[in-house]
Amino acid sequence: MLSFLIRRLLQTIPTVLAVVLLVFVLFSVVPGSIVSSMSDDADPQVELRLKKQLGLDDPVHVRFGAYIAKLATGDFGTSFRTREPVTAMLAKRAWPTLQLILAAMAFSVVLGVPLGFIAALRPGGLVDSAAMIVAVTGLSIAKFWLGLVIMYVFALKLGWLPSFGYGDGGLKYLLLPALTLGVSPMALFARTTRAAVLEIMTADFVRTARSKGMSETRVVKWHVMRNALVIILTTVGLQFGGLMGQAVVVEKLFSWPGIGSLLVDSVLQRDIPAVQGSILVVVLAFLAINLLVDLLYGVIDPRIRYA
């Protein structure tokens, strides 16, 4: 397992470099720059002085090399807009984003996995039909539209919860954005769990267990559930990483002070170091979750070996 872990960690290096390079190139060719937005007049001398102060007068390859050298020491650079270290900015935004993603994931797993499991045990029944309607609807609804509807109903009409903001970080501020973010993965977990359980229920080892007189409860517990967990865990891991990107819309909609909203604001302001830092954190989180899922495979199914 140690060699597998080391190999996977080394594989992340070219991925991170490719992401950083892509962002550098993208912001080098798009029209406009932070210098033009920061300069109140069109004086070329002012713009040249600002470029020199921000280090934007160097060629792209020189700036890229300097950034990689800083990145190797854990320095994400300094924000063009606020002149604050990007690391400090991300540290302040990390916990709100983590709160939102954990709450959304807990909601989606607790509801989606049991719903899909129960639906698979009674295929074609009322629960199965209702679960699939919920799943298809949840996957089809856009997060922005769903967030507006939830905000209108629970905040404006009923007045139960605040419509936006972080407040003191309490649960009442977290519920609406977490619900908005969690509906789509909940629907996906329900469909994935149902499909996995139905496939395993027809497997040869399940039929063999039944033919030996094993009760249906034990068949489900020891054979169906354990084998289905590998597929479910893969989906959960991918969705957990994917929620880092999907949280951008929800954070902006609910004025949630996370990394997603920081990324959007930084893109609009051409704040390249903040954009690079935000994207890098999202990519690293996605890679870390996938690595954790791969390691958990061996815990769930001891037959899995790491080459």
- Average pLDDT of span 141-151: 85
**pTM value surpassing 0.85:** no
Degrees, nearest 5: CA angle 289-293-299: 145
Say how far apart CA 262 and CA 248 lie, in whole Å.
Answer: 9
Q: Which stretch of 41-50, 61-70, 134-143, 292-301 has the lowest confidence by average pLDDT?
A: 41-50
Mean local confidence (pLDDT), 221-250: 79
pLDDT band for position 71 (cuts 50, 70, 90): confident
Residue 183's alpha-carbon distances to 73, 141, 187, 191, 196, in angstroms, are 39, 9, 6, 13, 20
Range of lowest pLDDT (30-39, 51-60, 155-164, 210-219): 30-39
Residue 81 has pLDDT above 70, yes or no: yes
Residue 44: count other Cβ atoms within 10 Å of its Cβ: 9
- Would you say 87 and 253 are in contact if contact means Cβ atoms under 8 Å apart? no
Burial profile 154-190: b = 16 or more Cβ within 10 angstroms, e = fewer: bbeeeeebbbbebeeeeeebbbbbbbbbbbbbbbbbb
Residues 32-40, mean pLDDT to the nearest whole number:
58
Residue 274 has pLDDT above 70, yes or no: yes
pLDDT at 198: 82
Indicate the pLDDT class of residue 35, thresholds 50, 70 and 90.
Answer: low
Give the pLDDT mean for 284-298: 76
Instruction: Report the chain's mean pLDDT, rounded to a whole number.
Output: 79
Using the predicted structure, report yes or no on whether residue 10 has a pLDDT greater than 60. yes
What values do phi and psi take at 85, rounded to 5? -55, 135
Over residues 22-51, mean pLDDT: 65
Does the pLDDT of residue 143 top 70, yes or no? yes
End-to-end Cα, the chain, rounded Å: 8
Q: Which of 80-84, 130-134, 243-247, 301-305 has the lowest mean pLDDT?
A: 301-305
Lowest-confidence pick of 43-52, 89-98, 272-281: 43-52
Q: Which position has the higher pLDDT, 170 or 101?
A: 101
Poorest-pLDDT segment among 8-12, 91-95, 252-256: 8-12
pLDDT of residue 260: 86
The average pLDDT across 231-260 equals 83
Check pLDDT > 80 for residue 249.
yes
- Contact between 116 and 192 under an 8 Å Cβ cutoff? The reply is yes
Mean per-residue pLDDT, 138-149: 84
Where does the pLDDT of residue 272 fall: very low under 50, low under 70, confident under 90, or very high at 90 and above?
confident
